Structure 1
Amino acid sequence: MNSQSWQVKATLLLVSSLTIMSMITISASLPDMTRSFSDIPNSEGLVKLSLSFPGLFIALSAIVAGIIIDRTGRLKLLGIALVLYALGGTSGYWLNNLYGILAGRALLGISVGISMTIVTTLVADYYQGKSRQQFAGLQIAVMSLAGILFITLGGFLADIGWRVPFLLYFFSLLILPAAYLHLKEPKRERETSDSVRGIRSPRIIWLIFANVMLMWIIFFIIPVQIPFYLKEIGVEKNAMIGVAIAASTLFSAVSSFSYSRIRDILGFRQIFALGYFLMALAFVSIAFGNSYGMVLLGMLLAGLGMGLMIPNANLWVMHLAPQEIRGKEIGRLTTFWFLGQFLSPLVLLPFLNFLTLSRLFHILAMVLFGLTIIFVIWYWLAPKPYVPEESK
C-alpha cells in the first residue's frame, strides 16, 4: 500500500471528519428541540446534554478500542464502527422519546470512539517525521472544513425541522466502501505480552492528556451555549446560528492548515501558549460583545486557537507513544478529549444558576489567560528536557 496516494489520504480524512460531525451537526437544532420536549422535566438540560452525551461514550470506548487494536490490528473494528455511526446518529430523526434519542447518541459515541482511535493510530503508523507533522495539521483542517459543511447544513435543515439534521449521519455509510478498498493493516513486529507489558510512555504524556481534557471543557461551552446566547441578544434565525459556529470551524481549518509551518518555528508548549491566548481573546470578545458581530469575532479567534492546539496535542502524543502501545495511548488521548466535552456542561452549567452567560465567558477568559502564562513559564523554565519530543 502506498500511504502517500490520494485515495489513502482521502479515506483517512473522510473517516476523521465523522468525529467533529458527530458532536456539532445538531447544534442549531437545540432551541427548537428544547421546545419540542418542554413537557419533560429538565428538558433544557437533557437536550443540551444530548450534544455532549456522545463524548462520554467516546471516552469510555476509545480507551478499550486502543487496547484491542494494539492486540488484534487496526482495521477489524472499523466497518462495524461506521455502521453503528449511521444507526446511532440518525436515531434523533426516527425516535419520539428524548431518552431514546440519548441512547442513540450513546451508540453514536461508541462508534466514534472506535473510529477516531483507529484513524489517528493509522496516521501515526503510515506517516513519520515531516509527513506526519503535515498530515496531523491537514487532518484537523479537513475535520474543521467538514464541520463547516455539516453544521451549516444542519443550521439550514433545522429551519425545516429540528429532526432533519439527524439524517446527515448516514454519511458514514458512504465512506464504508472506501475504507475497505484503500486502507490496509500496517506491518508490525509480533510482540509477546511480556515484552509489551514492560513498555511505557514518558510521564509527560499524562500532562498532555489532562491539558486536552481541560481545553475541551472550556471550549465546548461554545457549541452548547452560543445558540442560546445568540437567541438572548436577538438572533432568531437558526441559519445565522449555524453560520456563527461554522465560522469558528472555518478559522480552525485555517490555523490547522498552517500548523506544520508554525511547528517548524515553535515547540509544543509555545503552540499551546499561543492557542490559549487566542482563546482568551475570543472569550473576551464574546463576554463584552452584545452583538452578532462581536460574537462572530470571538468565534473566529476561538477557531484559530483550537485549530493549533488539537493537532499539537495529537502530534505530541504520536511523538511520545512507542509503536507497540500506540493504539492504547491514542485511545487514552481520545478518552481525555471527549471526557472534556462530556464534562463541559456538567462543570460549567451550574455556574449559570448565579452568573449570566456573558459573566461566565468573562471568567473563562481569565482562566485562559492564566493557562497562557503557565505554558509560557513552563517553556522558559524548562526548555531543554523535552528536546526529543520537540525536535523539528
Structure 2
Amino acid sequence: MLAAMLILMGGAAIAPALPLISEAFPDASDAAVALIVTLPALAIALTGVFIGALSDRIGKIPVLVASVAIFTIAGSSGFYLTSLYAILVGRFILGIGIAGITCTTSSLIVCYYEGATRTRVLGYQAAAMGIGVLILEVSGGLLAGISWRAAFLIYLVGVVILAGVLLTMKEPVLPSIGRNTVASDEKFPVAPLLAGYSTLFLGSMLFFLMPIKFPYFIAGMDAARVLGENTALTSGVFLGIMGCAASFMGLFYGRLAWRFHRYTILALTFLLFGIGYCSLGLATSLAAVAFAVICIGFGNGILMPTILTWIAAVTPRQFLGRASGGFSVALNIGQFASTLAIASVTAIAVTYGNLFLMFGCVAFVLALPYLLAMIRAKHALPQAVKSGKVAND
C-alpha cells in the first residue's frame, strides 16, 4: 500500500511548483514546463508492458525493489540539476521507476488475495493512491514555499518505502504454469483488456487536467491567497483534499463493487468528473473549489479499483504482470495525452475556467456509453438468469 501511494502522483508531486519553475526558466514555454509532470507518463507508456513482462519472468519483488530505487534517485534529481533539459531527462527515468511500481503492486495484490478480499484490497490500493496525492501534493506545496528545487526532495520518501519492501515483502508462490509454461486453453485476453484500458485512458486524461492546470488556476484566483502569497501551498492543499476524497471512496469500494455493475460505477465516475470540472469552471469561492475537487477525487477513487478488478477478473495469473503493465501504459498514455489535449483546447478556451467547463462537458458525454451499457446489462441479466447461463465475470 505504501508503494502504491507513489503511482498516481509520482510524476505530479511537484505540480504545485510549476508556476515557480516557469518563472525560473522564463525562456521555456508552458508546454515544456508541463513536461516535468507529464514526461514520466510517456516513459511509463513506452516501458510499462516490457517491465510487466519482465516481472512475470524474473519475479515481482526484484522489479519492485529496483523500481523504488529508481523512483527515489531520479525523482530527487531535480533538486541538484541546473538545466531544464537535464531535469526532463531525470523525469523520463523517473517514469521507468513508476512503471515498475505500478505493474508490481497491482499484480502482487491479485496474487496475494482472492474473491471479495481481493476486491476490498484493490479498493484499499485506490485509497493509498489518494493518500499519496494528499501527502505528496501538500508536501510538495510546502517545499515549493522554500524553493522550487526543494519540491523535488519529496521523492526521498522512496528511501523509507524501499526499506519496507526489502524487510516485509515476499515473492508470491504461483502455480507451476505461472512462470514457465502457458496452459493451452488460456490465452492473453486482448479484447476485454482493451475495453478496460480504453476506459482508463479516458479517465486518466480527464483526471490529469488537475495537476497540470489547477495550480495555474489557483495562482490567478484572488480568494486563493487566504494562506498568503504562496499559492503553491494553497493548490497543494486542494489537491490533497482531492486525494482524501479518492481515499474515502477507495475504502468503501468493496461494498460498492458488490452492489453495482462495473458499468454503473464507470458511468458514475465520468458523471462525477463532469460535475467536478463544471463546478470548478464556474467557481468564484474556495468553497466551490473544494466541492469541485472532492467530486473529482470521488470519481478517480472508484475508477482505478474498477479497472483493476476488471483486469483481475479476465486475466490468467501467468499474464498478470503483462496485464498490469498494460494498465500502467493506459494510465500514463492518458496522462501524457492530457497535455496535448489541454494545449489544443486552451487555444479555444482562453481562460482556465472555460478550459475546465469544456472538459466537464466532455466527461458528461463519456458517461453516456456506460449508462447505455448499464441499461443493457440490467435487461440482459434477467434473461440470462432464466436460461441458467449467468457467468461470474
TM-score over 0.5 (shorter chain): yes
2:237 matches 1:213: no
2:95 matches 1:100: no
Which residue of 2 is the match for residue 333 of structure 1?
327
Distance verdict in 2 for CA 1:55–1:388, change over 3 Å: farther
Distance verdict in 2 for CA 1:196–1:122, change over 3 Å: farther
The structure 2 residue matched to 1:380, chosen from 375, 378, 385, is 375
Mapped to 2, the partners of 1:49 and 1:307 lie a distance apart of: 25
On the 8 A contact 1:136/1:314 being kept in 2, the answer is yes
Which residue of 2 is the match for residue 24 of structure 1?
12
Q: Which moved more, 1:71-80 or 1:272-281?
A: 71-80
Q: Structure 2: state its 5+ residue gaps.
A: none
Q: CA deviation at 1:159?
A: 0.9
- Taking the TM superposition and a 5 Å limit, the aligned residue runs for 1:24-63 are 24-40=12-28, 42=29, 44-63=30-49
- Taking the TM superposition and a 5 Å limit, the aligned residue runs for 1:270-309 are 270-309=264-303
On the 8 A contact 2:12/2:211 being kept in 1, the answer is yes
Partner deviation per Cα, 1:352-379 (whole Å, 9 max, x = no partner): 1221322222222222112222111112
Partner deviation per Cα, 1:230-251 (whole Å, 9 max, x = no partner): 1222234221111111111111
Which residue of 2 is the match for residue 10 of structure 1?
none
Partner deviation per Cα, 1:2-24 (whole Å, 9 max, x = no partner): xxxxxxxxxxx111112234123
Which residue of 2 is the match for residue 200 of structure 1?
188
On the 8 A contact 2:102/2:324 being kept in 1, the answer is no
Which residue of 2 is the match for residue 241 of structure 1?
235
Mapped to 1, the partners of 2:342 and 2:249 lie a distance apart of: 27
Mapped to 1, the partners of 2:247 and 2:67 lie a distance apart of: 25
Distance verdict in 2 for CA 1:230–1:323, change over 3 Å: same
Distance verdict in 2 for CA 1:83–1:387, change over 3 Å: farther
Which residue of 1 is the match for residue 216 of structure 2?
228
Mapped to 2, the partners of 1:107 and 1:197 lie a distance apart of: 38
On the 8 A contact 1:15/1:175 being kept in 2, the answer is yes
Partner deviation per Cα, 1:49-103 (whole Å, 9 max, x = no partner): 1111101111222110111122222122222212111111011101110010011
Which residue of 1 is the match for residue 165 of structure 2?
179
Mapped to 1, the partners of 2:391 and 2:336 lie a distance apart of: 33
Distance verdict in 2 for CA 1:387–1:337, change over 3 Å: farther
Secondary structure at the aligned position of 1:38 is classed as coil
- Taking the TM superposition and a 5 Å limit, the aligned residue runs for 1:59-208 are 59-191=45-177, 192-193=180-181, 195=183, 199-201=187-189, 203-208=191-196
Distance verdict in 2 for CA 1:387–1:285, change over 3 Å: farther
Which residue of 2 is the match for residue 9 of structure 1?
none
Secondary structure at the aligned position of 1:238 is classed as helix
On the 8 A contact 2:16/2:215 being kept in 1, the answer is yes
Which residue of 2 is the match for residue 268 of structure 1?
262
Secondary structure at the aligned position of 1:290 is classed as coil
Which residue of 2 is the match for residue 369 of structure 1?
364
Q: CA deviation at 1:202?
A: 6.0
Identity, % of aligned positions: 26
- AA of the residue aligned to 2:372: I
Distance verdict in 2 for CA 1:110–1:262, change over 3 Å: same
> How many residues are aligned here?
376
Mapped to 1, the partners of 2:65 and 2:204 lie a distance apart of: 28
Which residue of 2 is the match for residue 3 of structure 1?
none
- AA of the residue aligned to 1:372: A
Mapped to 1, the partners of 2:361 and 2:6 lie a distance apart of: 32
Mapped to 2, the partners of 1:197 and 1:31 lie a distance apart of: 54
Distance verdict in 2 for CA 1:388–1:139, change over 3 Å: farther
Secondary structure at the aligned position of 1:184 is classed as coil
Secondary structure at the aligned position of 1:23 is classed as coil
Secondary structure at the aligned position of 2:4 is classed as helix
Secondary structure at the aligned position of 1:360 is classed as helix
Partner deviation per Cα, 1:134-154 (whole Å, 9 max, x = no partner): 100111102211221221111
Q: CA deviation at 1:252?
A: 0.8
RMSD of aligned Cα (Å): 1.8
